[in-house]
């Protein structure tokens, strides 16, 4: 893949029309928190038929899985096995569409992408890949259609980059149930989520080293006794994406809330589930970074053509040209990364964690540099909210922290190289 297809460009035009109508006029309200992102996302899903498409896909997938399980239980011949198992993303086969959608939204209001991406890309995908059929039927249809919002809770106050080793949130067995205690922080959608996927250490009371204890994954619903969702944090950027804390005070969890309903999940413990999500999330950061770069690129070219100083357009000055040229180099590089990821996905070859970390590291740094240079190119205007490049700079910076700080990406890339 070396360029966007005609279909991709048609979708881009339609998405831009939606953004111009529904997002740009409400940017101030979204950025201030006055307007919730979720109705906008639901309207997007409705207008583009994404809710119907994902709903039908999940319904068919679950029906096939139920038919196989019922045939197996009855000792009957199994129905033909689908080419793709039920694990993976709810948007499998629609990666190009989602890349265009994510890129266009990120360049205008990246918080919408974060809210949507965490709900479906992390919340729904984790349930899809690790849940039993009953669990998938219970939660997936509402999440993939955005009828309900999901959160994905792993980060804690003392265990950001050291997500597993420093994890203090724990569960203890209590008969057939589990009792959950602890706290999570920096949780996207946390304040308003209807469904929350929570990672916790299993405390078996045997004095085992805390860092090495098994990690289990549970699904909680809003309003459960002992489960408190904190108010949204005030952040530097991504204002339209609610982020907050979650508190667990002796929350009783029945076994049907443990994903897979077993502590010995065939896909490994919660660490393996999270690592798979990290890979997808980091590739997604490259898609978001491309959106930031494209919008800065567009705004700066337009400004360089129309802003005049000393009787001529500033685009005639070589230092301004240097900034534009570097933006173009960044745009080409990150776009090629995105094209490579899309092409490999179509071929069924997903990137390794190290490769995804490399994409995230480069793309997030490129987007931040481009956005900061955009502010500089606009001069005093660039520091004013009405010109929007200041918002792009604030949002871009989050990409260097989001999905694991860039310092951690370096270690993952290096470990991947040294393990060869």
> Please, are residues 295 and 318 in contact by the beta-carbon 8 Å criterion?
no
Please, what's the b/e burial string for 347-377 (b: 16 or more CB within 10 A of its CB; e: otherwise)?
eeebbebbbbbbbbbbbbbbbbbbbbbbbbb
Q: Is 25 exposed, middle or buried (0-12, 13-18, 19+ CB in 10 A)?
A: exposed
By CB neighbour count within 10 A (0-12 exposed, 13-18 middle, 19+ buried), where does 290 fall? Answer: buried
Of 95, 156, 281, 373, the catalytic one is 281
What would the two tokens of residue 86 be? 């039920």
Exposure letters 115-150 (e unless 16+ CB within 10 A, then b): bbbbbbbbbbbbbbbbbbeebbbbbbbbbbbbebbb
Using the 8-state DSSP alphabet, how is residue 254 labeled?
-
User: Known catalytic residue: 281?
Assistant: yes
d(CA 184, CA 187): 7
Q: Measure the CA–CA gap between 164 and 155, rounded to whole angstroms.
A: 9
* Assigned token pair, 167: 């994890």
Q: Which residues does the annotation mark as catalytic?
A: 281
């Amino acid at each position: 893949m070396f360029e966007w297809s005609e279909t991709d460009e048609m979708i881009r035009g339609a998405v831009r029309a939606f953004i111009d109508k529904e997002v740009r006029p409400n940017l101030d309200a979204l950025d201030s928190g006055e307007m919730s992102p979720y109705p906008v996302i639901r309207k997007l899903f409705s207008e583009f038929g994404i809710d119907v498409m994902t709903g039908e896909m999940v319904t068919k997938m679950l029906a096939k899985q139920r038919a196989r399980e019922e045939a197996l239980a009855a000792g009957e011949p199994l129905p033909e096995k689908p080419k793709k198992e039920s694990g993976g993303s709810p948007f499998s086969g629609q990666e190009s569409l989602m890349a265009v959608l994510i890129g266009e939204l990120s360049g205008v209001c990246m918080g919408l992408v974060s809210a949507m991406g965490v709900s479906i890309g992390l919340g729904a995908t984790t349930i899809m890949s690790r849940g039993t059929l009953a669990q998938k039927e219970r939660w997936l249809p509402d999440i993939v259609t955005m009828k309900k919002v999901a959160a994905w809770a792993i980060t804690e106050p003392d265990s950001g980059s050291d997500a597993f080793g420093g994890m203090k949130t724990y569960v203890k067995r209590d008969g057939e149930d589990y009792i959950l205690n602890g706290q999570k922080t920096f949780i996207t959608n946390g304040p308003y989520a209807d469904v929350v996927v929570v990672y916790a250490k299993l405390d078996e009371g045997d004095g085992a080293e805390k860092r090495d204890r098994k990690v289990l994954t549970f699904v909680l619903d809003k309003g459960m006794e002992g489960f408190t969702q904190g108010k949204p944090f005030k952040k530097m950027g991504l204002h339209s994406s609610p982020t907050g804390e979650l508190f667990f005070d002796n929350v009783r969890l029945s076994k049907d809330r443990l994903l897979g309903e077993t502590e010995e999940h065939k896909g490994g413990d919660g660490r393996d589930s999270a690592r798979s999500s990290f890979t997808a999330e980091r590739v997604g950061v490259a898609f978001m970074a491309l959106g930031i770069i494209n919008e800065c690129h567009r705004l700066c070219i337009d400004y360089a053509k129309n802003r005049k100083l000393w009787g001529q357009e500033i685009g005639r000055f070589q230092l301004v040209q240097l900034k534009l040229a570097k933006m173009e180099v960044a745009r080409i590089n990150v776009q090629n990364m995105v094209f490579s990821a899309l092409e490999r996905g179509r071929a069924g070859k997903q990137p390794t964690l190290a490769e995804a970390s490399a994409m995230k590291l480069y793309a997030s740094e490129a987007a931040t540099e481009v956005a900061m240079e955009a502010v500089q190119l606009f001069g005093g205007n660039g520091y004013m909210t009405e010109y929007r490049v200041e918002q792009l700079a604030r949002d871009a910076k989050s990409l260097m922290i989001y999905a694991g700080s860039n310092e951690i990406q370096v270690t993952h890339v290096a470990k991947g190289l040294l393990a060869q």
